[in-house]
Amino acid sequence: MAAIRRPLVHAAAIATAATLGASALALPAFAAEKPAAGATADTATADRPAAGGPQAPTVFSLADGTLDWGLKKSFREYVKRGAAGTITTSGGATQAPDNGAFTFGGAKGTYDLGGNALTAAFQGGVRFTSTAHRFDITIADVRVRTRGTTGAIQADVALNGARQDDIDLATLDLTGHRPGQGEGGTTVLKDLPAKLTAAGAKAFNGMYQEGEVLDPATLTVKPGAPVPDPDPKPSPSTSATPRPTKTPTAKPTPTATPKPTTAPAKPKKVVGGTLSWGLKESFRRYVSAGGTVTTAGGAKKKTNGYVFPYAKATWDARAKKVNASFGGSVRFRYKAHGIDMTFSDLRIKAAGAKGTLYTDVKAQGRTSDNVKFATLDLSRVSYAAKNDVVLLSKVPARFTAAGAKQFANETTGSPYRAGDRIDPVTVALELSAGARTASVPDDVDAAGSGGAGAASGGSGGTGPAGSVGGGSGSLARTGSGAPSGALLGVAGAVVATGAGAVYAARRQGPGHEARV
């Protein structure tokens, strides 16, 4: 966890001020004791280290501490009321009565006065589950770091079995927050504003957006003993440094660099690969609730999407460019709602931090070729090959205007908008015949056809937000605030209202949208 402001530095030093002579660091609220009556200025400063003498330690351990944080009140209420779920704590974490905030205790870490850096790890975890809405979220191994006026809450997050470790779940803003004094010599930073990070939003599969305001956090720490300098500077030696001899050293004999006996290896070419993609989870679940999803042309189904076979590709690691095409197709049919959509001939064009996903789309009898379907964020991927495999893993993707338009109809338009998040894309390119593509997922259906898609849906005619249509065969509009059912993964609509409530979308009559 990051570093804390200078006022907390002072508060941490208070605990050892008597032995370290650090009273000068104390805040007005925690002022050092005044000299006894009759003490002179000389006696008051007699214990201060002399110039050039041993310096007071700057790093302190944390003897104890707690983090009081509720994550998000509306989410807690949604879990207990809207989803009829449960919230359980473990490992020493506790929850306040009436579905209140959580307390994570047993803080261990250090505080560095020199760098104003605080790191603390806390015990315990909290788990949110709902059988009705089919989600299971665990937050554990909570840590906090601060530096200056900024900080972060870090944790391991498991969502329905998929775990992400050591992610920055929330940012902290310490601007204008001065530490107070708590019981037992503790230092308290109360009600620090917290906001959801991009990684935190991803951990919740897009139910909330980056920058969403979370519950404020209160940090309480108790300074412990000084931590010895791990790399003390050696004391100056009294012995004189020996003078160099006057005898000049022999000049080195230049040795010619041997010329290579073989020509440099030619750049490798792409010989195979795969593209893994699920389109949009809420759409898959909606169709699978009452329709079918089939693959063809070598495409195969997997647990969370589809794998498309390699067609051709070019790759340039130095220029950070990839241009790859993939075969196969996936078809979504939901006859009762008038849906018949096929996606084929997928292509990826990537350059540096940006890229585009293209595809041919056949929907309700119309065909659109080479649709600029989604934008790709490649800012965190490497174009370098490892073991003869170039892996662009879990690249974040968002609808373009043209991509969202493919789901439109004359009655209600499209339920999606440009910029809406869709499933991430993974591209793996093989540079040799023996290379193993790391993106080939588990649970692949070798038959590659039939069935109800990659993930089982719910029951009845309801679907996730942005999915259920009326009798006219339209996809209903749910509004930009809907999280598209990504977090809950159920066939019920999920709406990111103030309380995060969940309602089932009901089919409307012809010409009407589903209201959730």
Domain stop point among 414, 430, 446:
430
Q: Which one is predicted more confidently, 16 or 203? A: 203
Kindly state the DSSP code that residue 505 receives in the 8-state scheme. Answer: -
Instruction: Give 452 or 223, the one with higher predicted confidence.
Output: 223
Determine the structural domain holding residue 365 and report its residue range: 272-430
Which residue, 405, 430, 455, sits at the end of a domain? Answer: 430
State residue 208's pLDDT score.
85
Question: Domains in the chain: how many in total?
Answer: 2
How much is the average pLDDT of 341-364? 94
Of 24-38, 39-53, 187-201, which gets the smallest average pLDDT? 24-38
Alpha-carbon distance of 141 to 155, in angstroms, equals 5
The token duo for 60 is 């302190």
* 362 lies in the same domain as 425: yes
Give domain status of residue 63, yes or no: yes
pLDDT, residue 43, reads 40
- Residue 414: CB atoms within 10 Å: 20
What pLDDT does 116 receive? 58
Cα distance between residue 469 and residue 415, in whole Å: 10
pLDDT in tens, 283-328: 999 899 899 999 999 999 998 899 999 999 999 999 999 999 999 9
Check whether 151 has a pLDDT greater than 80. yes
> Does residue 279 share a domain with residue 220?
no
- pLDDT value of residue 3: 42
Same-domain check for residues 301 and 156: no
71-127, pLDDT tens digit by residue?
999 999 989 988 899 999 999 999 999 999 999 999 998 876 655 577 899 999 999
Of 31-40, 373-382, 498-507, highest mean pLDDT:
373-382
User: How far is Cα 20 from Cα 43, in angstroms, rounded to an integer?
Assistant: 16
Q: DSSP 3-state assignment of 343?
A: strand
Length of the chain measured in residues = 516
Supply the pLDDT for residue 58.
67
Same domain for 219 and 285, yes or no, is no
CA–chain centroid gap for 316, Å, is: 28
Provide the pLDDT confidence category of residue 259 given band limits of 50, 70 and 90. Answer: low
Q: Is residue 198 a part of any domain in this protein? A: yes
More confidently predicted of 45 and 323: 323
Is residue 445 domain-resident?
Answer: no
For the ranges 139-143, 225-229, 430-434, the lowest mean pLDDT is seen at 225-229
Greater confidence (140 vs 443) lies with: 140
Q: What is the pLDDT of residue 315?
A: 94
C-beta separation of 149 from 125 below 8 A: no
Residue 259 included in any domain: no
Average pLDDT (140-147) is: 91
Instruction: Identify whether 232 is part of a domain.
Output: no
Amino acid (1-letter code) at residue 196 = L
Would you state the torsion angle of the CA atoms of residues 361, 366, 369, 373, taken in this order, to the nearest 10 degrees?
-40
Q: How confident is the model at residue 256 (pLDDT cuts 50, 70, 90)?
A: low
**Residues 295, 153 share a domain:** no
Contact (CB, 8 A) for 109 and 62? yes
Q: What is the mean pLDDT of residues 170-191?
A: 86
Q: How far is CA 171 from the centre of its chain?
A: 12
Higher pLDDT pick, 107 / 515: 107
Residue 248 confidence class, pLDDT cut points 50, 70, 90: low
The span from the CA of 306 to the CA of 328, in Å, is 10
End-to-end CA distance of the chain: 40
Same domain for 99 and 196, yes or no, is yes
Q: What is the pLDDT of residue 18?
A: 34
Q: Please write the tens of the pLDDT for every residue from 157-167.
A: 988 888 888 89
* Digit-coded pLDDT (tens) for 480-503: 333 333 333 333 333 232 333 332
* Averaged pLDDT score across all residues of the chain: 73
* pLDDT value of position 252: 57
Structural domain includes residue 265: no
Burial class (CB in 10 A: 0-12, 13-18, 19+), 250: exposed
pLDDT of residue 427: 96
Structure-model confidence comparison of residues 508 and 229, the more confident one: 229
Look at residue 426 and tell me if it is in a domain: yes
Same domain, residue pair 195 and 286: no
Of the listed ranges 310-314, 334-338, 357-361, the least confidently predicted one is 334-338
- Is the model's pTM score more than 0.75? no
Task: Choose the final residue of a domain: 393, 410, 430.
Answer: 430
Q: Is residue 136 part of a domain?
A: yes
pLDDT-above-90 percentage for the chain: 42
Looking at residue 231, what is its pLDDT?
A: 52
For residues 323 and 475, is the Cβ–Cβ distance under 8 A? Answer: no
318 and 415 inside one domain:
yes
Tell me: do 98 and 221 sit in the same domain: yes
Residues 201 and 283 in one domain: no
Q: What is the pLDDT of residue 201?
A: 85
Residues 314 and 211 in one domain: no
- Cα 76 to Cα 80: distance, rounded to the nearest angstrom: 6
- Report the pLDDT value the prediction gives residue 232, as an integer from 0 to 100: 53
- Higher-confidence position of 384 and 247: 384
Q: In the structure, what pLDDT confidence band is assigned to residue 277 with cuts at 50, 70 and 90?
A: very high
User: pLDDT value at position 295?
Assistant: 95
Indicate if 221 and 291 belong to the same structural domain.
Answer: no
